[in-house]
């Protein structure tokens, strides 16, 4: 048991050390969310840099570009109207994006350590899989989360409440190599909105490119963009 845990730790460390050589990665992303009997589709292209910068070009259902810096200061730019909305309350950054977590070496905890979680236990489960359980005291976060590894790669993660009931479950599949690193091109998230209801979101990654030269990596909101007026009168 100890040997299995030790091999996992060493391999995840090697992944992290090798990942430090990668500078940036991009991918096309499609999500389909099942809510009740309806399916909502969204598409975007994600540009992650290892300095923490994130650019997301959203294509559907609404066209806009999200730019987030290392301090998680975020600007939403709407090219059709040349308007910008600024958000400084800690939006998603590159360290939250699945693509970044894998290819920049955060497999050991899928980034939950950055959010304030600490490792509580590591144990063997069935079929040679290893489960890590994490705990946080932050009141705004679910108190527990889990990550399950098979063949040293994450195949499942979850958040749980204080009674260890699941809040979310995520399954990672369709692993294919991107450069030196296996990456799951498909994830399926189940969010439990009530004891009897849930929302299912499937995410598909394609056209994953390492260290590309797409100018969108360096996108900045045009200096002549107008601040968006969010008053009801002007948004009708």
Q: Residue 231: inside a domain, yes or no?
A: no
- Which domain, by its residues, includes 178? 2-221
Q: Residue 212: inside a domain, yes or no?
A: yes
Q: Residue 205: inside a domain, yes or no?
A: yes
pTM for the whole thing?
A: 0.83
- The structural domain count of the chain equals 1
Q: How far apart are CA 133 and CA 140, in angstroms?
A: 18
Q: Residue 192: inside a domain, yes or no?
A: yes
The CATH number of residue 144's host domain is 2.50.20.10
Q: What are phi and psi of 4, to 5 degrees?
A: -60, -45
Alpha-carbon distances of 214 from 45, 48, 76, rounded to whole Å? 11, 11, 20
Q: Residue 176: inside a domain, yes or no?
A: yes
Q: How far apart are CA 92 and CA 86, in angstroms?
A: 13
Q: Residue 227: inside a domain, yes or no?
A: no
Which residues, including other chains, have CB under 8 Å from residue 223's CB and lie 6 or more apart?
A: none
Please report, in angstroms and rounded to a whole number, the separation of the first and last CA atoms in the chain. 62
Q: Residue 121: inside a domain, yes or no?
A: yes
Alpha-carbon distances of 150 from 53, 172, 198, rounded to whole Å? 30, 11, 26
Q: Residue 232: inside a domain, yes or no?
A: no
Q: How far apart are CA 35 and CA 16, in angstroms?
A: 37
Per-residue pLDDT of the chain (236 residues; tens, 9 = 90+): 444 444 445 444 444 444 455 688 999 999 999 977 889 999 999 999 888 889 999 999 999 999 988 777 889 999 999 999 988 765 555 556 888 888 777 888 998 998 899 999 999 998 889 999 999 999 999 999 999 999 889 999 999 999 999 999 999 999 998 877 789 999 999 999 887 788 999 999 999 998 888 999 999 999 999 998 776 444 44
């Amino acid at each position: 048991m100890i040997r299995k845990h030790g091999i996992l730790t060493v391999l995840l460390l090697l992944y992290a050390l090798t990942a430090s050589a990668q500078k940036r990665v991009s991918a096309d992303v499609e999500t389909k969310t099942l809510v009740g009997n309806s399916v909502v589709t969204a598409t975007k292209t994600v540009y992650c840099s290892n300095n923490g910068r994130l650019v997301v070009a959203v294509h559907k259902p609404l066209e806009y570009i999200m730019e987030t810096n290392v301090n998680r200061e975020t600007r939403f730019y709407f090219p059709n109207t040349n308007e910008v909305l600024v958000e400084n309350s800690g939006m998603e950054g590159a360290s939250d994006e699945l693509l970044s977590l894998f290819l920049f070496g955060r497999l050991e905890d899928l980034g939950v350590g950055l959010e304030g979680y600490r490792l509580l236990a590591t144990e063997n489960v069935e079929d040679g899989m290893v489960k890590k359980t994490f705990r946080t005291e932050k009141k705004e976060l679910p108190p527990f989360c889990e990550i399950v590894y098979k063949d040293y790669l994450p195949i499942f993660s979850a958040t749980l409440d204080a009674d260890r009931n699941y809040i979310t479950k995520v399954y990672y599949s369709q692993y294919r190599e991107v450069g030196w690193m296996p990456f799951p091109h498909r994830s399926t998230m189940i969010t439990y909105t009530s004891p009897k209801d849930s929302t299912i979101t499937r995410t598909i990654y394609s056209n994953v490119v390492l260290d590309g030269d797409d100018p969108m990596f360096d996108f900045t909101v045009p200096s002549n963009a107008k601040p968006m007026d969010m008053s009801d009168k002007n948004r009708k």
